[in-house]
Amino acid sequence: MNVLDLIGNTPLVELKKTSSELEGVSIWAKAEFRNLSGSVKDRAAKAMLTEGIEKGLLRPGKTIIDSSSGNTGIAYAVLGAVLGYPVRIYLPANASRERKTILACCGAAVVETSPLESSDGAYLAAKAEANAHPEKYFWPNQYNNDVNWKAHYHSTGVEIWEQTAGKVTHFITGMGTSGTFMGTARRLKEYNPKIQAVAVQPDSPFHGIEGTKHMASTIKPGFYDETFPDRFAEVNTEAAYARTIRLAREEGLFVGISSGANVQAALDLGRTLPPGSLVVTMLCDSGFRYLSDGFWGLTND
């Protein structure tokens, strides 16, 4: 097996204890922490780098450069190692310590940008450097590259349809670049236009749901179409933390905060749905990426 084949085809797991709070509605989640570099972002990163190589834009001598809240950067670092390219990542300084350590361990150069400017500051800094030295860099530009959402159109959406034998009724997930949401939901609606696509966002501009964006207060990704979601859902950071802890302690799923936010939003949605509904969401990464976070409530925090 090729190491790149460890990306995609993740298991879809039923959240039995969480679903038991609902009447006849089940919640299922894609175990994206099972991807090669440990997050959902492997899918988009692999597709963008592969396309860059095919188009001759990513070739020997070039460095991969982009901004990231951490997970795409880690995916680039791991894929850069496999494909033989150096990687330079711009990320907000308040990204978790684990993300920075993993990037360094995988050999990526890391440039920290102002935490106050969040993902926008990292994006603008990467853009300036990429545009200043185009001969040096390959800039996938994950926020504006259609290959990002299409990676999910060609993989995640197909997998969910097949794994639920076409029974999925709702797809709900948070958005960073919105690639996961836009690509997966587009594909599912092609299979069955009745499938409802629900976009999750943090309930305020200053939030702790790492990897996700409060769209109204940040630069909108180029391919994000705000008229596309059937519905929007908001999650409060404290509720996302609490759900993340419950997922570990009740479902055996030690996952990250955006996964907690997704499951909380799926549960809130499930309470409004008729029996027989099947809600699918994403477990974007693992709890190992947030060990240094205080919200676990451990005595050594």
The residues that touch ligand PMP, with contacts defined as CB under 6 A, are: 39-41, 69, 71, 174-181, 210-212, 256, 258, 284-285
Beta strands in the chain (DSSP E): 12-14, 26-31, 63-67, 87-92, 109-113, 137-138, 170-174, 196-202, 231-235, 278-283
Q: Between 169 and 180, whose beta carbon lies closer to ligand PMP?
A: 180
CB of 120 to ligand PMP, least distance (A): 13
Cα separation, 264 vs 234, in Å, equals: 10
Extract the tokens encoding 235. Answer: 């999650």
Give burial (CB, 10 Å; 0-12/13-18/19+) of 65.
buried
Q: Which of 181, 176, 204 is nearest to 66 (CA)?
A: 176
Q: Which CB atom, from 168 or from 235, has the smaller least distance to ligand PMP?
A: 235
How many other β-carbons are positioned within 10 Å of the β-carbon of residue 96? 19
- Distance between CA atoms of residues 137 and 223, nearest Å: 23
Residue nearest to ligand PMP (CB): 211
Q: Which is nearer to ligand PMP, 137 or 181 (CB)?
A: 181
Closest to ligand PMP by CB, 285 vs 293, is 285
The DSSP 8-state label assigned to residue 39 in this structure reads B
- Please, what is the end-to-end C-alpha distance for the chain in angstroms? 40
- Please name the residue that has the structure tokens 């300036």: 128
Q: What angle do CA 64, 70, 76 make, to 5 degrees?
A: 30
Cα 284 to the chain's mean position, in Å?
5
State the minimum distance, in angstroms, from the CB of residue 175 to ligand PMP.
Answer: 4
Rounded to the nearest whole angstrom, what is the least distance from the CB of residue 56 to ligand PMP in the complex?
26
CB neighbours of residue 97 within 10 Å: 12
**Looking at beta carbons only, is 18 or 184 nearer to ligand PMP?**
184
Which tokens go with 167?
């029974």
Q: Are strands 26-31 and 12-14 parallel, antiparallel or unpaired?
A: antiparallel
Minimum distance, C-beta of residue 121 to ligand PMP, in the bound complex (Å): 15
Among residues 258, 259, 277, 286, the one annotated as catalytic is 258
Distance of CA 216 to the CA centre of its chain: 19
Least Å distance between CB 132 and ligand PMP? 25
Q: Distance (Å, rounded) from C-alpha 43 to C-alpha 103?
A: 18
**Of 46 and 62, which CB lies nearer to ligand PMP in the complex structure?**
46
Annotation says 136 is catalytic: no
Q: Reply yes or no on whether 41 is catalytic.
A: yes
Q: Which of 26, 37, 39, 41 is catalytic?
A: 41
> CB of 191: closest distance to ligand PMP in angstroms?
20
* Residues carrying an active site annotation: 41, 258
